[in-house]
Structures are given as C-alpha cells and as structure tokens.
Amino acid sequence: MKVYKDIEDFKPIHNAVVTTGTFDGLHKGHKVIIQRIKKLAAESGGQSVVVTFYPHPQLVLHPNEKYLYILNTQEEKIKLFEDHNIDHLVFIQFTPEFAKLSYTDFIKNILVDKLHVHKLVIGYDHHFGKDREGQLQHLVDFGKQFNFDVEQIPAQKIGDVMVSSTKIRKALLLGAILSANKFLGYRYLLSGRVVKGDGIGRTLGFPTANIELNDPHKLVPANGVYAIEAEVKNLRYGGMLNIGTRPTFNGVKLVIEANIFDFDENIYYETLHIRFVERLRNEIKFENIELLQEQLVKDKENSLKMLKKNKEEF
C-alpha cells in the first residue's frame, strides 16, 4: 500500500477505483466499501484508492468543542488500512480553507483532475463539499459529464442495529468493549509511546508499560481493567491494562498502563499497540496493598481465560 500524506504527492493512475470519506474506526460498514473497490479494481484492471482526511473534519469545524473523540489516529488508520491490502491511501489535509470548497469544485478539482477517477464508490449517507451540500445525485450527474461511474453502498447492520462510528464511540465510553468490537469487526486499537512511570507496578509484582497517547482526541475507553493483546516490535503478547487514576495510591492523573504477560524487555519510547479483548472490572480503591495484589492475581487469571476464549474471535 502506498501512503500519501498530501494529495499533491499523488500521481494519477489508470482506472482508479476511488472511495472517499472520514473512515473513523474503519468499521464493518466501511469494510464493505473497501471490499467493493478492490473487486471493481480487479475487474477493470485498475487500482483501489481510498481518500480520507486529516485531521478529522469535526476537529477543524468545531475547534472549541471539548468532547470530540476520534477512534483512530492517523497512524492507526494507516495500520488498519494496510490490513486490507488496498493500493493507495491518500490523505487530504483538512483545513478551514478546504472546508469552504464547494461540492462542484471537490468533484472537478479532486476527483477528476487529481485522481482521474474511473469508478467511485460511496457509503449510504455520503455528503461532501462546503456545508455537506454535495449528494449522490450530484456525483451521478458529474459522472455522466466526466465519464466516471458512481455506486452507493447501502447501510450495514449487525442484527437489527445499524453500524456507525457514533455507536462505537458510545459503546467504548461505557466500557462495552464486546459491543464496540462487534461493530468494528476487530479489536479496538489504541497506540502510544511507552514512557517511564513511578515503578509502582513492579513493586507489586506486575510491572507495567505506561502509555502516552500521541493525539489528545484519541478516544480512551471507560476507566477499568481490561484483557488485552499488546503488540510491540511486530510481536503480540497477552496482557491486562488499567485505565484510571490508581485510587489506592490517591492518584488524580489518568494513566494507561499495561502489564504484558511473559515479557520483560526495556521498551521505553517504543510504540505499543493495544487491542482490547474484554473489560474485566471497574477500577477499585483497595484498603491496602495486599488486597490489591490479590486482585491483580485474579485479574491475570481472568485475562488469560478471556484471551483463550476469544482467541479466534477476529
């Protein structure tokens, strides 16, 4: 997969099969679109092209909003798209100026002139251009004028529930990991740099990697203890993770700390990728260290059970 962090770096290709959108979370609904552009590209002898935005448009349009959360950072989004084997991933820098681009200019300047679109695939609720004025019929009309086909993918459901990034965010903020993962079609991903902590975990017999997020808008699931998979240096390990303030030690600052099973290496300043398997419990304030240690032993046992039970889930 070729990645372009600026659309100006993209060179037109033959029979580009394109989709465009925010793709926050890259959930099951998005995956149907990705599979479709890959299939169409193979049938037409072309290549698949995903066009997305950075930063998330809502962060630019509503910069003073306190509770805007994203499901994927830019690097996480790249990592997820790599798993789908598309040919080209193109980022458009979303700025206040770009937000003013009319839907007609978006079609002509971006889709036609920059991408040389051959086929365009969009989701069921796709809107684009200034004030989201562009709609399906506009694309169809311009497609006839500029000789490209347009296909719309209907809404995707799991059971009777429509999949959406909004529903996934709500589930994660409640700690409902199993529901979020079902909508996503994979285990929710959180990535960050390992930084030095105060060493409390090691004194308890459960050394932890303290994770520093590289994007303040990244959605962190509800406080509590989770069974996880931890990936570092392209290797995966089972583990458990705590999100919270460590009330037993009268903490006030939110920390994200992972205890990685069967692992004892110095990984300071390495990037650690966490995949959430299941939520074990709420964060608890213990009366003493001994009770906390007893609970950590139980947490590890439960984490191992969850990891074994969900081994083939995704």
Tens of pLDDT, residue by residue over 258-274, are: 999 999 899 999 999 99
Question: Does residue 122 sit in the same domain as residue 217?
Answer: no
Coil/strand/helix, residue 89: strand
- Kindly state whether residue 196 falls inside one of the protein's structural domains: yes
- Kindly state whether residue 220 falls inside one of the protein's structural domains: yes
What is the reported pLDDT for 124?
83
CATH number at residue 126: 3.40.50.620
Query: pTM to 2 decimals?
Result: 0.91
What is the reported pLDDT for 171?
97
Helix residue spans in 68-135 (DSSP H): 74-82, 96-99, 103-105
Question: Does residue 282 sit in the same domain as residue 217?
Answer: yes
The order of strands in the sheet holding 88-93 is: 2-4, 88-93, 47-54, 16-20, 117-122, 149-152
- Kindly state whether residue 178 falls inside one of the protein's structural domains: no
Domain boundary among 144, 161, 178: 161
Interval 41-95: pLDDT, tens: 999 999 999 999 999 999 999 988 888 999 999 999 999 999 999 999 999 999 9
Spell out, as residue ranges, where the chain has pLDDT lower than 50. Answer: none
Question: Does residue 104 sit in the same domain as residue 202?
Answer: no
Question: Does residue 71 sit in the same domain as residue 204?
Answer: no
What is the reported pLDDT for 314?
65
Asked if residues 51 and 92 have their Cβ atoms less than 8 Å apart, the reply is yes
Contacts 24+ apart (CB under 8 A), 301-308: 302/227, 303/227, 303/228, 303/238, 303/239, 303/240, 303/261, 303/277, 304/238, 304/261, 306/227, 306/277, 306/278, 306/280, 307/227, 307/229, 307/238, 307/277
The domain total for the chain is: 2
Domain extent at residue 211: 187-309
What is the reported pLDDT for 201?
84
- Kindly state whether residue 166 falls inside one of the protein's structural domains: no
- Kindly state whether residue 170 falls inside one of the protein's structural domains: no
Question: Does residue 138 sit in the same domain as residue 13?
Answer: yes
What is the reported pLDDT for 134?
85
